Structure 1
Amino acid sequence: MTAKHEDTLPNLVTIVGRGVPSNYEITVNGEIELVGSDPLEEATVVTDHAAEGAIETGVMRFRFSGEMANVHVVDWNGTPASESPNTPEVHIDYGVPARSDGK
């Protein structure tokens, strides 16, 4: 990730899978970009202001500008986060500099 992206996409959202197939949708009022993964390989759809996809295990990271507008995660049954312990964990951090490996 270039220094330009660090300046224009200073925030980070991390989605951590819990071993159960789950879906996520995140929307920001700025721009969003997948970090360190190939969107096609990860079956992730990223538009200017939103990202959606599936995760079972591992970590997905997105850098974004502006504020987080919406986070929606559901488990494989469609049960939302507040009602299912199996939905992914979501961490939102503002003003996080990019690491030297671009994450």
Structure 2
Amino acid sequence: MTIVGRGVPSSFEITVDGEIEMDAADPVEEATVVSGSVAEGTIDVGVQRFRFDGQVTNVHVVDWNGNAVPESSSVPDVHVDYGVPQR
């Protein structure tokens, strides 16, 4: 899964029915908390990537005002690819 920032401070929460982990050297540096099946954090610009097993059960993204799609076009883009091989 990839979260792509749009230049506006935003928050996200991702839940899966398996385990999720951040694909980064230091998740704390990315201001992301990952615990079991949930990842939550913030993004402004750039990309954050996650690996997970199972299925995505919930994705919640909001801009700095707490507005979600379709009220805000500034929330991050979320891309989910299933079946990506492990590294």
Q: TM-score, normalised by structure 1?
A: 0.81
**Greater share of helix residues, 1 or 2?**
1
**Aligned positions, number:** 87
Match of 1:27 in 2: 15
Structure 1's consecutive aligned runs of 4 or more residues displaced over 4 angstroms after TM superposition are none
Checking the alignment, whether the CA contact within 8 Å between 1:14 and 1:91 is kept in structure 2 is: yes
Identity of aligned residues (%): 63
The whole-number CA distance in structure 1 between the counterparts of 2:15 and 2:48 is 15
Checking the alignment, whether the CA contact within 8 Å between 1:75 and 1:81 is kept in structure 2 is: no
Q: Which runs of 5+ in 1 are unaligned?
A: 1-12
The whole-number CA distance in structure 2 between the counterparts of 1:67 and 1:82 is 24
Per the TM alignment, residue 82 of structure 1 is displaced from its structure 2 partner at its CA by 2.3
Question: Which letter does structure 2 place at the counterpart of 1:41?
Answer: E
Q: TM-score, normalised by structure 2?
A: 0.95
Q: CA RMSD in A?
A: 1.0
Match of 1:6 in 2: none
Decide which structure has the larger Cα Rg and report it: 1
Structure 1 counterpart of 2:27, from 39, 50, 59: 39
